[in-house]
Amino acid sequence: MHDELPLLIQTFEEIKTACEKEKISAEQQKSLLKTMQGCVRLTKMFEAKLEECLPSPDDSFLIKGKKAIKSIKAEKYIAEIQRTLETYKSTLKLYFSHLTVMASSGQSLPAVAAESKLYEVPAMKVNRSVGRKYLLDRTQEFFKA
């Protein structure tokens, strides 16, 4: 996770630049904004939990022990944050791979952005997902044809 944060920040900066240059449609900007806001929110939650659980060099032995116990209790919470972040990262990967394919086929990016829609299908272990079965059924039917 630590190694991926600089790349995620760079991706956000590229999206911001593309929005400023109007290379991304208003509909896609809205979708990407939700993804970016979700990433920022989860990253802050992740950072707060780490601050709460990781000992600092100045902590007493007792405080370090308490934080060690907190970190064990926080493992499930942190794992859920990481899984949810993975779904957001998948959305960003899908978006950029879509733009790359379209650009290599000779279509202009603004035209592609205006015509395209992006869908996020959360990971199986993300329990806050709603409507997932319908999307999965439609996807399976599409690939059967």
For 90-124, write each residue's pLDDT tens digit.
888 887 777 776 667 665 555 545 555 555 555 55
Tell me which amino acid residue 91 is: T
pLDDT band (50, 70, 90) for residue 126: low
Report the half-sphere exposure of 20 (CA within 13 A, side-chain side).
6
Tell me if the pTM is above 0.85.
Answer: no
* Cα distance between residue 55 and residue 63, in whole Å: 8
Tell me the C-alpha distance between 126 and 145, whole Å: 29
Residue pair 53/95 in contact by the 8 Å Cβ criterion: no
Q: Letter for the amino acid at 47? A: E
- Quote the CA–CA distance of 44 and 39 in Å, as a whole number: 9
Tens-digit pLDDT profile for residues 39-71: 888 888 888 888 888 888 899 999 999 988 988
